[in-house]
Structure 1
Amino acid sequence: MILLGFALGGFNSMRQSFVQDEGVADVNQRLKTVLATIGPDMQQIGQGLTDTSIPLVKLEVFNVGTANETSIITTRKVSIPTPLNLSEALIKNQSNTTLKISTDTSILEQWKNKRIADGGTVQGYIHNSATNTGQFFDYKGENLTADPRTITISSTTWTENYPSGSSIYLMDKRKYEVKDNILTLTVNDKDTFKLVEYVEKLNIEATIKSIANNGTISDSKCKGIPESGTPTNCDTTPNNYKFENIKYLDIKATVKQKNKDNPSAKKLRSEDLTMSQKFFIRNTLN
């Protein structure tokens, strides 16, 4: 009986150790999976794009300064490297549903194929490189035989003037956020995928090169980046912000312990449930 008691005690000790190790391994695996899932998109944001002043990152932060602070990040990647070129100027405060373009028909055919493959409507972005201004719109169709050729868009009121020759890019939009303790990815505002379970939150901070009017260079750390305008929730507000001035994104993932109510489970510290990594995006600085 004594030997049996020792044996059972040893077995229970081994089982408890196994449960604890299994819990730690599960947490580490989920943390690595979160970062490995998001990372490639972060690193490819500016891929295939020569004009790196286009805003390709939107960073939102909620519950700032609290234990529940969390981030949502939206990235855009050019899906067809060759842009369309506007052949007729667009006027500020004017609305249009058709844009005249001067791009070769073969390029517009690529746009058509991409649009159809993505469900019929995709996001375009018009950009005036002279003023570094632009805006997004929904691209819905095209006329390859018209002279000049045209694309059809949802009715859009222009916030700036766009002269003839302005570039129009075709974008893929990808949004990462945590919903109901699940890391999700929403593609082009249509399809949402559940990626990793038992995720508590994401915390994302961008380090941005700030160039003062006198030429002095410093770094600003910001938790909010709008589609246009100046970053927010920064330690110091960056001067002359452009996408190309983002040095890197620091992403911290926090997960939940699955079996924390199990008496045999090792109670992990808060720092054991987090992991962070820096991602260098493809822009002028990188």
Structure 2
Amino acid sequence: MKTKFIQWKPSTLPFDKSALKLYLNLLTFQKRKSKDGFTLAELLVGLSIGFLVVSLALFGSLLNRQVFVNDKARSDITQALRLPLDAIGGDVRQAGEGLTTSDPNFPVILLDTNPTELVIRRQLLPASMPVCQDIKAGSRDDIVILDQNGDETPFPGCEVVLASDINNDGWPDRWDNIRNYRLIEGGKVRAFIYNGNGKGEFFDYQNELLFDEDNNEVTNSEDLEYIVLGNGSEGTWKNDYNADSSSRIYLIEERRYQIDDENNILQLVINDDNENILNLTNDISLLEVKAVIVQEDETYNCLIIPPVSDDDCSEELPNDYSWSQIRSIEITLQVDPESSAARTLQRRCEDPNNCEALQLSRSFVPRNIFNY
């Protein structure tokens, strides 16, 4: 069978000469462009786009750098405040540690203002010695810790029979740890004499002297009548200390936190040793301490402990103060606004008086108050 072919007819659609002309012009432009380069308008457009991209990249880099600088300054400030707060908080929690007295009036925590000072005390050794002869304020009376009291009945706890000396070292065995501590510390330590009524003072305990009934010094307990602690402190006694079992002598460690206002340094003074002050943190301009006290189910905020006037607490205390009433110690530290880290964070603060205070506050509970 013979194959049939169909002949195609020319298109009847009208030919668009304008499209062909546009195409030819485009080819001519590209050919000319390849020979003549970019036009001024094209260069300006390209430069504008490039400048915009570089500007955005530079802005992002500067912004990231500022964020990093601010974060570092904030981290430095937080660390500068958190570390000393942790140190102070650790001492607050241990306030009153080791005290063998059940007296809630014992001056364990002291607080003062102008300048702000926080004093924390704890007992070094689990032993204390009685006061066996009355000591009068304003005098230089001896500190007698054992006294047979001649023909009269000795005060409770002061009997020489209690001065058992099995190891024959000339010192009562029950106080061996006290004397040994003094010798280890170089022969002289600070001791604290307490009157049993919230008052006490430190003195330099430097030796022990044993006497017989004729006031002759002896070296053993066979002829012992009384024992005197050597007092190396100058001056006279500030308080009365009665030989009625209320007054006793303790070995106390005292830690005092304060601010060096001239140099804005947080300092720690141990056992009133002002010649060896420990500088804890620089650039600290404020130390604020507040004791929260509860009496009769009411809360009082006190800036001075023990309170001595109605202005020392938010309101007048209805009852006498004792340290067992403290529920917490609130401490606030503030960074010096002139420090480099503070200036970095407050750079955009227009009014220096209204800038955010760069401070940190913590609350700590003296755990030993639960013993009372």
Superposition TM-score tier, normalisation by shorter sequence? 0.7 to 0.9
C-alpha displacement at 1:55, in angstroms?
0.8
The answer as to 2:130 corresponding to 1:85 is: yes
* Identity value in percent: 25
One of 162, 173, 180 as aligned partner of 2:254:
173
One-letter code aligned to 1:74:
V
The answer as to 2:201 corresponding to 1:126 is: no
One of 228, 238, 250 as aligned partner of 1:150:
228
Unaligned segments of structure 2, at least 5 residues: 1-49, 147-157, 164-171, 212-223
C-alpha displacement at 1:92, in angstroms?
4.8
Q: 1:223 to 1:167 in 2, by over 3 A?
A: same
C-alpha displacement at 1:181, in angstroms?
1.2
C-alpha displacement at 1:252, in angstroms?
1.1
One of 43, 48, 51 as aligned partner of 2:98:
48
One of 259, 273, 279 as aligned partner of 1:194:
279
In structure 2, the residue matched to 1:219 is 299
The answer as to 2:266 corresponding to 1:183 is: yes
Secondary structure of 1:54 counterpart: coil
In structure 1, the residue matched to 2:22 is none
The range that moved more, 142-151 or 18-27, is: 142-151
Q: Distance in 2 between matches of 1:8 and 1:199?
A: 37
Q: 1:271 to 1:40 in 2, by over 3 A?
A: farther
Post-superposition Cα deviations, 1:82-141, rounded to whole Å, max 9, x if no partner, equal 111223233455422443334752454322343355565433222343xx2432131332
One-letter code aligned to 1:31:
L
C-alpha displacement at 1:19, in angstroms?
0.3
TM-score (norm 2): 0.64
The answer as to 2:82 corresponding to 1:32 is: yes
In structure 2, the residue matched to 1:206 is 291
The range that moved more, 104-113 or 37-46, is: 104-113
One-letter code aligned to 1:186:
V
In structure 1, the residue matched to 2:179 is 112
In structure 2, the residue matched to 1:253 is 333
Q: Distance in 1 between matches of 2:243 and 2:309?
A: 24
The answer as to 2:314 corresponding to 1:235 is: yes
Secondary structure of 1:11 counterpart: helix
Q: Which has the larger radius of gyration?
A: 2
CA contact under 8 A between 2:105 and 2:198: conserved in structure 1? no
C-alpha displacement at 1:8, in angstroms?
2.9
Q: Distance in 1 between matches of 2:182 and 2:291?
A: 32
Q: Distance in 1 between matches of 2:346 and 2:190?
A: 51
One-letter code aligned to 2:201:
F
Structure 1 ranges of 4+ moved more than 4 A:
116-121, 228-232, 260-272
In structure 2, the residue matched to 1:141 is 206
Q: 1:202 to 1:83 in 2, by over 3 A?
A: same
One of 60, 72, 76 as aligned partner of 1:10:
60
Higher helix share: 2
CA contact under 8 A between 1:23 and 1:266: conserved in structure 2? no
Q: 1:284 to 1:28 in 2, by over 3 A?
A: closer
Q: Distance in 2 between matches of 1:72 and 1:7?
A: 52
One-letter code aligned to 2:109:
V
CA contact under 8 A between 1:222 and 1:231: conserved in structure 2? no
In structure 1, the residue matched to 2:360 is 275
Q: Distance in 2 between matches of 1:260 and 1:284?
A: 38
C-alpha displacement at 1:199, in angstroms?
0.9
Post-superposition Cα deviations, 1:161-212, rounded to whole Å, max 9, x if no partner, equal 41243321111111101112111101111121011111111111111233xx
CA contact under 8 A between 1:224 and 1:232: conserved in structure 2? no
Higher relative contact order (CA 8 A, sep 6+): 1
C-alpha displacement at 1:43, in angstroms?
0.8
Q: 1:193 to 1:14 in 2, by over 3 A?
A: same
Unaligned segments of structure 1, at least 5 residues: 63-69, 211-215
Aligned residues: 271
One-letter code aligned to 1:30:
A
Q: RMSD between aligned alpha carbons?
A: 3.0
In structure 2, the residue matched to 1:66 is none
In structure 2, the residue matched to 1:59 is 111
Q: Distance in 2 between matches of 1:262 and 1:241?
A: 45
Q: Distance in 1 between matches of 2:313 and 2:341?
A: 37
Q: Distance in 2 between matches of 1:265 and 1:19?
A: 12
Q: Distance in 2 between matches of 1:99 and 1:8?
A: 81
C-alpha displacement at 1:217, in angstroms?
4.6
In structure 2, the residue matched to 1:213 is none
